[in-house]
Amino acid sequence: MVDAGLAKDAPATAERSSFLSVAELSLVYGAKGDTPVRALSDINLAIDEGSFVSLIGPSGCGKSTLLRIIGDLLAPTGGSVEIGGRVPRLARLNREIGFVFQEAALLEWRNIRDNIALPLELRGVGRVERERKADELIRLVGLEGFHSAWPRQLSGGMRQRAAIARALSTDPRILLLDEPFGALDQITRDRLNMELARIHEITGITVVLVTHSIREAVLLSDSIVVMTPRPGKVSRIIEVDLPRPRSLGSRDDGRFDQLVKVGNRELEKGYHDV
C-alpha cells in the first residue's frame, strides 16, 4: 500500500509507519547563473514493506530522478527519504538497495555467473559462497544452463534477467527498476513481467518500478503512483485490487481494464492541469 497524503480521508505521511518514506522531496537543477529547472516538487510517499509500486507519468516528469534519489544516486535539494529508518546512503552502504537500469550493463569479460556474483566479490565474499549464491539466483531468474555464457551470447531479455539477479545478490530489502523492459519486444516483455511477479512473490522484496506502460503497472503492482508533467508531483495513488498471484490472464479481468482507464484519465488530467 502507498500513501501520498493527498486525499482528505487519507492519513498524513508523517502519521504512517512505512518502510519507504519520502517527505516534501524536491529537486532543482541548474548551475550558478543558469535558469533553474524544477524537476521534482513536494513529493510525499509512504510505501509498506513488501509492496510492489509503479511510478508512471509523461516523459520528463521526474520518475527516474525520484528513483535515483531513493537509490542514493542523486541528492535532493529539499525534503528527505528514509528506507527502513535509514537515509538512502546508509541503506546503500548496508547493501539494502538493488538497482536495475534500462540497460543491463553486464561486464563483457565476465561470464553470467561472475557478473551476478560481482557485488559479492566486491564485498570480499569467498568464491565458493558467491558462486553458490549466484547459482541460486540463476535458478530464480530462469537462466539455468547459462552460468558460463558470455553476455554477448544472451538475448536482451536474458541479459536483463542477469541484471535482476545481480541486483538481488546482496539480499537487498528494496529493488529499484528503471524501465528495465522498455527496449524489449512485447512477447519478451510479457514473459519478464511474469518472471518479475514471480520473484516478488517468492522473495517478498519491496519493489519500485518506473514504467511508461499503464498496462504493465496494473499487471504487476499493488499501487501505482501517477506523476504530473514537470515539475513532477504526485497527482494520485491508484490502488490495484486485482487478486494475486497474477498471470497474463489477469488482463482478461474486467477490473484490469477499469484500472487502465483510470490511469489513462489521470495522465490526461495531469496534462490539462499544467
Range 2-96+172-273: architecture per CATH: 3-Layer(aba) Sandwich (3.40)
Residue spans of the domains in the chain: they are: 2-96+172-273
The band of 10, judged by pLDDT with boundaries at 50, 70 and 90, is very low
Give Cα separations from 168 to 106, 137, 140, 158, 162 (angstroms).
Answer: 14, 8, 10, 15, 10
Q: At 261, list the grid cell.
A: 482507464
pLDDT digits 0-9 by tens, 148-187 = 999 999 999 999 999 999 999 999 999 999 999 988 999 9
Residue 6 has pLDDT above 50, yes or no: no
pLDDT of residue 102: 92
Rounded Cα–Cα distance for residues 234 and 226 (Å): 6
Q: What is the mean pLDDT of residues 245-265?
A: 95
Q: Give me the chain's average pLDDT, please.
A: 91
pLDDT digits 0-9 by tens, 175-230 = 999 999 988 999 999 999 999 999 999 999 999 999 999 999 999 999 999 999 98
Residue 15 has pLDDT above 50, yes or no: no
Q: What is the mean pLDDT of residues 24-31?
A: 88
* Apex 209 CA angle, 170 and 48, nearest 5: 75
Q: What is the mean pLDDT of residues 140-150?
A: 96
Rounded Cα–Cα distance for residues 75 and 245 (Å): 36
Instruction: Report yes or no: 146 and 158 within 8 Å, Cβ to Cβ.
Output: yes
pLDDT of residue 29: 86
Residue 274 has pLDDT above 70, yes or no: no
H-type alpha helices, the chain: 63-70, 88-93, 112-122, 127-140, 156-168, 186-203, 214-220, 254-273
Q: What 8-state DSSP symbol labels residue 116?
A: H
pLDDT digits 0-9 by tens, 51-86 = 999 999 998 899 999 999 999 999 999 999 999 999
